[in-house]
Amino acid sequence: MGQNAPHHKLELLPPPREKVETIEILRQTNRSTAALAELKGIAKTIPNQAMLINAIVLQEAKDSSEIENIITTQDELYKALTVKRASISAEIKEVVNYRKAIFSGFHLAKEQGFIRVNDIVSIQQELVDNTAGIRSTPGTVLKNDKTGEVVYTPPQDKAEILELLTNFINHYNRNDSELSPLINLAILHYQFESIHPFYDGNGRTGRILNILFLILNDLIDVPILYLSSYIIKNKPEYYRLLNKTNHEGEWENWIMFMLKAVENTSKHTIMKITTIKTLLDNTIIKVQKESPKIYRKELVELLFEQPYSKIDFVVSRLGVERKAASRYLKELEEIGVLESQKVGRETLYINKELIEITSVRLK
């Protein structure tokens, strides 16, 4: 089928059951559900949840923005978050916004137990930092990056977009669906991207809606499973399958792609968490042994919650004087747990090993 073939009119959800519950899909759903359940269990064993969430969310903000060619480094990001500066680059700002949008979405989902169309609008607004909102002027089309050829035309009429969005959010919030939540995740992500309700930021907003959906369905307790890295790695396939579903109204390959993304990413995240936990345990032992006088569990945990630390953080966490806080950090540098770096007038103390672990990409 040629690229210019007319696409199916976007149908309301849900799709016919037989199209989204093939034997192959059901088998893969079991594998993906098991991997995700294992991740949920392992995440629970981490004593300090903030530590886990911070590191993983920042990495996700970076990866997800990278799909949109917003390239930043962990180092720049952490510095932007740790040191107040008058001006930060537009790229850093976008990634910082993405991170904020995940957290506000997470708190909203937790508080309300559901998401409204207006919440989606706020999330997108926070991401792109403008108030254009839902598309009301026609002209948005999806093009092939390389050839410039139009591959898909989303609905153009505002009333139609709103109708599709209402249907989308009703399906998103249903708790009586007979389909597995992971199959629904795949269906919903396709539908959201195909409605393409905004002028920009549809991909990133859709990826945030994915994690919130997993949380609302109790598949994970904290926002630590992200498909962005998998999507970057398999971007041509991701685009090809969205397209194929638009044009052929055929769901199986798309759903399989998303299910495999969940399985693969869950396993990768389990490895990452396990490595973080081992590093935390080893660091505790090292400080206890080599600097017994300054050892405090909260001090070590702080270095994992804030891998770029500074005196102020230690002062407020441990309730000690600046002088003592400074001495602790220097001593931790001496025994090789931290590395210091001057940024402007401030000295940051970096948990380098943790940074290395959290920035490992999917293989």
Ligand X SMILES: Nc1ncnc2c1ncn2[C@@H]1O[C@H](COP(=O)(O)OP(=O)(O)OP(=O)(O)O)[C@@H](O)[C@H]1O
Tokens of 5: 């073939």
Q: Give the residue with the Cβ less far from ligand X, 92 or 151.
A: 151
Q: Is 15 in the site for ligand X (CB under 6 A)?
A: no
Residue 79: name its binding partner from Mg ion, ligand X, none (Cβ under 5 to 8 Å by kind).
none
Q: Which helix (H) or strand (E) holds 152?
A: strand 150-152
Q: Give the residue with the Cβ less far from Mg ion, 142 or 188.
A: 142
The candidate with the shortest Cα–Cα distance to 360, out of 278, 273, 282, 283, is: 273
With CB under 6 A as the contact rule, the residue among 242, 276, 287, 350 that binds ligand X is 242
Q: Is 91 in the site for ligand X (CB under 6 A)?
A: no
Using CB under 6 A as the binding rule, the residues of this chain from 246 to 265 that contact ligand X are 246
Residue 125: name its binding partner from Mg ion, ligand X, none (Cβ under 5 to 8 Å by kind).
none
62 burial (CB, 10 Å; 0-12 / 13-18 / 19+) is buried
With CB under 6 A as the contact rule, the residue among 103, 114, 239, 295 that binds ligand X is 239
Tokens of 294: 């300054």
CB of 303 to ligand X, least distance (A): 32
Please give the DSSP secondary-structure letter assigned to residue 362.
P
Which region among 15-23, 25-33, 196-204, 294-302 touches ligand X (by CB under 6 A)?
196-204
- Give the other-Cβ count within 10 Å of 17's Cβ: 10
Residue 52: name its binding partner from Mg ion, ligand X, none (Cβ under 5 to 8 Å by kind).
none
CB of 245 to ligand X, least distance (A): 7
With CB under 6 A as the contact rule, the residue among 105, 181, 201, 223 that binds ligand X is 201
The answer to whether the CB of 161 falls within 8 A of the CB of 197 is yes
120: left (phi over 0), alpha (psi -120 to 50) or beta: alpha
The alpha-helical segments, DSSP class H, found in the chain are 17-20, 23-44, 49-67, 74-82, 90-112, 117-128, 158-173, 181-195, 202-216, 228-233, 235-248, 252-290, 297-305, 311-318, 322-334, 352-358
> Site for ligand X (CB under 6 A): how many residues?
17
With CB under 6 A as the contact rule, the residue among 28, 72, 243, 306 that binds ligand X is 243
Residue 194: name its binding partner from Mg ion, ligand X, none (Cβ under 5 to 8 Å by kind).
ligand X
In sequence order, the 6+-apart residues with CB closer than 8 A to the CB of 41 are none
CB of 96 to Mg ion, least distance (A): 17
Amino acid at 112: Q
Q: Give the residue with the Cβ less far from Mg ion, 232 or 318.
A: 232
Contact residues for ligand X (CB under 6 A)? Answer: 67-68, 142, 151-152, 193-194, 200-204, 206, 239, 242-243, 246
